[in-house]
Each structure stands twice: as structure tokens, then as C-alpha cells.
Amino acid sequence: MISVLAGGVGAARLLQGLVQVVNPKDVIVIANTADDVILHGLHVSPDIDTLTYTLAGVNNKETGWGREDETWLAMDSLKDLGRETWFRLGDRDLATHMYRTGRIAEGAGLAEVTAEISASFGLEMCFLPMTEDSVQTKVTLADGSEVGFQEYFVKLAHNVPISKIRLEGIGRSQPGPGVLDAIDQADVLVIAPSNPFASIDPILAIPGIESTVRSHRQKTVAISPIVGGTAIKGPAHRMFKELGHESSVVGVAHHYRNLASTLVIDKIDAELANAVEDEGLRCVVTETVMRDTKIAAALAKTALETVL
């Protein structure tokens, strides 16, 4: 059984590869929900949705988020009503949030609802929200103001310097159903090449999760989201720098040194392998830029083989 700590796009690509080399039924995905947001009364889970849509093959390849074959009548009409619509919810995509919101209103937990949605999309792997509690990533901008993660990520296009990340509600949050077991019982625990600060750290920060991961350091392998000093997508490289770290695979190694026994880095960073190992992790060098599913499958296989 393989468990994966996951954010959105980078994790989704890795999982597309992973299901080529292991049975999807043997995969448990522990997904970040600290980006979740209530918009217009609807519960939106951006990372879970990206994972679900991508694995189901219905993700929007043009936008990089949302569903394919999408239309925007609701958003256009909402804009006519004078509402902010920088977080674009397509008409098809809306159904997912309406389903989630309706089921939660009926008393279902986020884990149950997430399982229902992924099953409805025909997926066999198991998606677990990191928590069913409300945890909200808040970002302090360089000017001192604090904004919600989606405002930083989407509205501001993560194109502004930040000085701090805070996880509102984290102290009283609990791991979601099945999460600790999934970490405990996995043969391999993979930290996906997701944003360490915005996607992986929120998972780890839920009371009980980081200590459980640490106790399984030997079976844990991380894949660097930083390649050649930058992120394939998103602001991870900026965050490393702006939060006082080194934006390189060495910075990633330092960040994960107590959690993972192995870090997989890209060939472009091969010369930094020794520096990674100086952080106390085994370093494996391979192709990590997942241009297609074949590369993703090879990367997943390489990651698993560091442990199995």
C-alpha cells in the first residue's frame, strides 16, 4: 500500500504516473484542504478537485484548473451582479461544489463526500482530506496585510512577496478519518512534488501527523518540487526565498530532512546530490519534470524503489 501526501497539480501528475505502476486500489492520497474556501456559500476544495479531475482525465488542460468542456454562464452572470469573480467556477465545476456543500449540509463528513465524488468519477484510489476541520492558510504580504490563500494564489496570481504563512484553526484540528492509519500502514509514504509551504506543511501541521511521519522516516520518500532552483508551477521557489530558505533541492532536503529518508531530485540538479546527502537524506537523481505520463510513471517507480 502506497500513501501520498499531496497538494494539487504536481501531485496529480505524479499520481497519473503512479497508477501506471501500481494498482490504484493500493493508493491512498492524503490531500491538503487548507486551501479550501467557501465561495458564494459553496465549499470548494481546490486540491481535492484538481486531483479528482486530473486522475479522472476530465481536467481542463487549457486553464490548468477546473474541468474540461467548461462554460462560464454562472460566473458571467455573477459578474453582472457586481460580484468578485476572480476565483472562476465553471458551470460544470459548480456541480462538484454544490454536491459537496449539499452533502455536508446533510451531515456527511468531508471524507465521506470526497470518497463519493471520486467514486462517481470512476476513480479507484482513495482520497482522504487531511482533516475534516476548517484549516485556512493565511498569507502575510510584504506590506503586512494578511490575505486568504486563494486571494494570494489566484487574485494576486502569487506575484507578490510574502513574509509569513499562518494556518488558521490548525491547533484545534484533527487528522481526517483514516489519515494516521494510511501513514502508519503504508509500505511507502511519498511526499509529492507539491509546494512544501502551501500544500505539504499544512498536512504535517495537523496535530499528530508530523510525529507519525517522522516515526516512519525510513519508508518516506520526497520528490523535490524545486527543479533547477525554480518551481515547475506555482510560487514554491519564491516562498523558499521569501520565507528565508534556499530555493534549491538542498533547501528542500533541509526542509524535509526529519521526515523523509530519501529525496528524489531532477538530473538538472545532479551536482547538488552531495549537498542533499549532507542534509542527511539519501539522494536519488532522475527525470522529475513530468512532461508526459510515461515520465511520471518512471518517476513514481523510481521513488517507490528507493524504499521497496
Min. distance of Cβ 8 from a copy of itself in angstroms? Answer: 20
C-alpha closest to that of 86 among 156, 136, 159: 156
Min. distance of Cβ 130 from a copy of itself in angstroms? Answer: 22
Provide the 8-state DSSP code for 133: S
Min. distance of Cβ 72 from a copy of itself in angstroms? Answer: 8
Would you say 107 or 244 has its CB closer to a copy of itself? 107
Min. distance of Cβ 216 from a copy of itself in angstroms? Answer: 35
HSE of 246, CA atoms in CB hemisphere, 13 A:
14
- The residues of the shown chain that bind a copy of itself, judged by CB under 8 A, are 38-43, 67, 70-71, 73-78, 80-83, 90-96, 98-99, 101-102, 104-105, 116-117, 120
Min. distance of Cβ 141 from a copy of itself in angstroms? Answer: 22
Euclidean distance between the first and the last CA atom of the chain, given in angstroms as a whole number: 11
What is the grid cell recorded at 150?
Answer: 486563494
29 vs 129: CA distance, rounded Å: 8
Min. distance of Cβ 117 from a copy of itself in angstroms? Answer: 7
| Element holding 2 (H helix, E strand) | strand 2-6
Residues paired with 156 in a beta bridge: none
Residue 72 makes CB contacts below 8 A (sequence gap 6+) with 88, 90, 91
27 vs 125: CA distance, rounded Å: 5
Residue 188 makes CB contacts below 8 A (sequence gap 6+) with 2, 3, 219, 220, 221, 303, 304, 307, 308
Query: Are the C-beta atoms of 195 and 7 separated by less than 8 Å?
Result: yes
Would you say 103 or 255 has its CB closer to a copy of itself? 103
Would you say 115 or 290 has its CB closer to a copy of itself? 115
Min. distance of Cβ 106 from a copy of itself in angstroms? Answer: 10
